[in-house]
Amino acid sequence: MTKGKMIYEGKAKQLFETEDRNKVLVYFKDDATALNGAKMAQIHDKGIVNNKITSMLFKLLEKEGIPTHFIDRISDREQLCRKVDIFPLEVIVRNVVAGHMAERVGLPEGTEIPNTIFEISYKKDELGDPLINDHYAVALGAATYEELKEIYAMAGRINKILIDFFATLGLRLVDFKLEFGKDEEGNILLADEISQDTCRLWDLETGKKMDKDRFRRDLGDLEETYREILKRVESKLK
């Protein structure tokens, strides 16, 4: 697969054309940003770790019947994916109170909730990705009600699969962010990445935060924690 022109550069990844107009090459960088870009750093080999973890998790999800953009991991930092038009939405799934939810509703992190919470934010860096709802999304032309229904159903299935999987690694899936896109035929596919950059994962025994909050909140042990997550995922998946 030849790497063509760069078509997009985000905070953590670059996207390149390939000779097949329906496929893109995704390159995972070491750059880490937080607090809407106010905090920036390089985390040694993060791109390699996240490419591996995302590839293994997307393969697991495909096996469990979730359609994704992932085709193959082709090098340490690159994967081949189906080209999709990304919905300008971040779909957040919460199983326990943490992060912005804790701030928003004034409950301590770790508070149990009886139901799964699905949230959407509008992907707009200059506005800080504001929290919206379905009606806003439809009004903004970001998705239709039918598409949102399908997206929430997929997010719910993904949540069940990942809660069970991470539990086998001694990790609690607290919350996570998903992105979806549409291929040329109009199929909705899971896109972007799933890794400790996009999920909150707490060690089931010790409660230790094993995710990007170590970077966001300057908790230390960053590279070791990223490697530890990779080791645990690799112990179950290839």
Residues 36 and 31: their CA atoms lie apart, in Å, by 13
Piece in contact with ligand 5GP (CB under 6 A), picked from 90-98, 134-142, 144-152, 183-191:
90-98
Residue 20 Cα distances to 70, 115, 157, 186, angstroms: 15, 43, 31, 18
Nearer to ligand 5GP, 78 or 90 (CB): 90
Q: List phi, psi (to 5°) of 27.
A: -110, 125
Q: List phi, psi (to 5°) of 214.
A: -65, -35
Report residue 5 CA to chain centroid gap.
Answer: 25
**What tokens were used for 181?**
């896109």
| 198 sits near ligand 5GP (criterion: CB under 6 A) | yes
| 89 sits near ligand 5GP (criterion: CB under 6 A) | no
| 180 sits near ligand 5GP (criterion: CB under 6 A) | no
Nearer to ligand 5GP, 26 or 98 (CB): 98
Report the DSSP beta bridge partners of residue 203: 171
| 175 sits near ligand 5GP (criterion: CB under 6 A) | yes
| 212 sits near ligand 5GP (criterion: CB under 6 A) | yes
Which amino acid is present at 144? T
Piece in contact with ligand 5GP (CB under 6 A), picked from 58-66, 134-142, 193-201, 219-227:
193-201
Which residue ranges make up the site for ligand 5GP (CB under 6 A)?
Answer: 90, 92, 98-101, 129, 175-177, 197-200, 212
